[in-house]
Structures are given as structure tokens and as C-alpha cells.
Amino acid sequence: MPFMKLFDTHAHLQDPRLAGVVDAMMDRARAIGVSRILSCGTREDDWAPLTALAARYPEILPAYGVHPWFIETLSPDWVNALGQRLTENRAAVGEIGLDFVVEGLDRGKQEAVFLAQLRLARALKRPVSIHCRKAWGRLMDLLKQEGGLPHGGAIHSFSGSMEVAQELVRLGAFLSFSGSITRPNNHKAKKNAAAVPPDRLLIETDSPDILPENLPGPLNEPAHVIQVVTTLATVRKTTPESVAEMTWNNALGLFGDG
Ligand SMILES: [Zn+2]
């Protein structure tokens, strides 16, 4: 396979599970053509390790945000702290969103935390990386209420319906596909991925999670984004090179070069 430039638009390389193995992972990523990785923060205490990681590896672009699973860990001054981090690093906002699958997460608080970050992104003119599980109606209501995604946004590991995909595209979103699309029984994601407009398609790994099919685990890594590329090429009836080029250009336009 010829050399392709790949942009992994959603990972968490500051995850403590990857301590000590990032150097080797980055070597494997570079060898396969992964030239940019958006590494998304999930809570306040991983923002500093993320800044350090991005300073060490030129391929890693940081995004800062609070994931819906961690809304109970927030400090009283978290919005200012996030604003400062975003200003200092000219970074994207993420991972933010809504999760109505995990039990015990206060939905009202999730929405408040999501909205605060969406508004910060708009004020600072930044793109966002969004997590959404079984909360599509509320996500679209909130996005509409806020005037869409004026500076763009990626829906990470998209798992909604075709109708939701079309509406999100109208609201300014890009749809990102992960290793979950490599699972043989994931017909829904394959069908959606085949229909996404070429200028709104992205690829990601969500490393260290969402290990693609038939790979030794347990941890996922950016080099495995090639599995997503080859699966997308099959479902879109095109070449891996074309998927790589299209998603590279889309990601660069959305998240810039850091
Ligand atoms: Zn994630």
C-alpha cells in the first residue's frame, strides 16, 4: 500500500493506561502515515499531561474539555480554567457531549456542562469534538438553540441514524468513524458511513479504546486508524488512498495544524 497521510481526529494519548508506551505507539503511527492526532481531554486533571504530550510530539494536537462521564469532578472555577487553557494553546474544545446510556449521570448537569463548553467554543471561535450516546434528540435541540456549529465540530464514533446524520451535517457537523465500524455486525455504521458527504467524513481511533476487529489488544493505538480507512474504502466503494486524502483534508480544515 502506498504511503498515505492520515489524521486520527479523536484519541486520548494522555490516558494513564498509555504511560510508558506512547513513544513506541508514535513510532508505529508515523511508520504507517499518521501525521496528526487530535488528543482530547476528558477532565480537568488530564489537561496538564495533555499539554506536556503535545509539546513533546509535533503530531499531537490537544483539545481541552470535560467529558460527560466526569461532570462530578469539576472544580468551581472550571470554565475559567478551560478558557485559559484554550487561549494559551489555540486548541479545539473536546471531548464534550451527552451520554444517556451510562446510568447515574445527571442529565440536567450534563446539558449545562455541555452548553457552557459549546458557548466557550463559539466565543473563542474553536471547533468541537462531541460525544453522544442515545441523546440525539437533545443534542440536536441544543445545537439548534445555539445556532449550530459555526466553527465546525466532529461527532466522534458516530452511532446515530441516517436521519440524525443528515440533520447534524446541516448543523455544521463532520461525522467521524472509529474501529467500531470494522465489526462485521455493525451494519448501521457501515450504511451511514457510505452515505456521509465526502466533505464531512472523518476517521479516528479513540485510542486507547475501541480496538478494531481481530487485533491483539487490549489497548488501541493511532496506527490502527488504517483499519478504519480500509473499511470505509470498502463500504464507499473507493480506494484507501482516496479515503485517506479526503479525511486528511477535512480534518485539516476543521482542526487546523495546531
Ligand atoms: Zn473519546
pLDDT in tens, 151-201: 999 999 999 999 999 999 999 999 999 999 999 999 999 999 999 999 999
Q: Examine residue 94 and state whether it is found in any structural domain, yes or no.
A: yes
List the domain range (segments joined by +) for residue 164.
Answer: 6-15+24-255
Between the CA of 128 and the centroid of ligand 1 the distance, in Å, is 12
The total of structural domains in the chain comes to: 1
Strand partners of residue 34: 6
Between the CA of 123 and the centroid of ligand 1 the distance, in Å, is 23
**Do 142 and 118 form a contact (C-beta atoms < 8 A)?**
yes
User: pLDDT tens across 53-102, in order?
Assistant: 999 999 999 999 999 999 999 999 999 999 999 999 889 999 999 999 99
Q: Examine residue 139 and state whether it is found in any structural domain, yes or no.
A: yes
pLDDT tops 90 at residue 105? yes
**CATH number for the domain that contains residue 112:** 3.20.20.140
pTM assigned to the model:
0.96
Between the CA of 41 and the centroid of ligand 1 the distance, in Å, is 8
Q: Examine residue 1 and state whether it is found in any structural domain, yes or no.
A: no
C-alpha cell at 202: 472523518
Between the CA of 1 and the centroid of ligand 1 the distance, in Å, is 29
- The mean-pLDDT minimum among 108-112, 147-151, 253-257 falls in 253-257
Between the CA of 93 and the centroid of ligand 1 the distance, in Å, is 12
Alpha-carbon distance 119 to 121, whole Å? 5
Looking at residue 258, its pLDDT comes to 46
Q: Examine residue 39 and state whether it is found in any structural domain, yes or no.
A: yes
Q: Examine residue 136 and state whether it is found in any structural domain, yes or no.
A: yes
pLDDT tops 70 at residue 142? yes
Say which amino acid occupies 199.
D
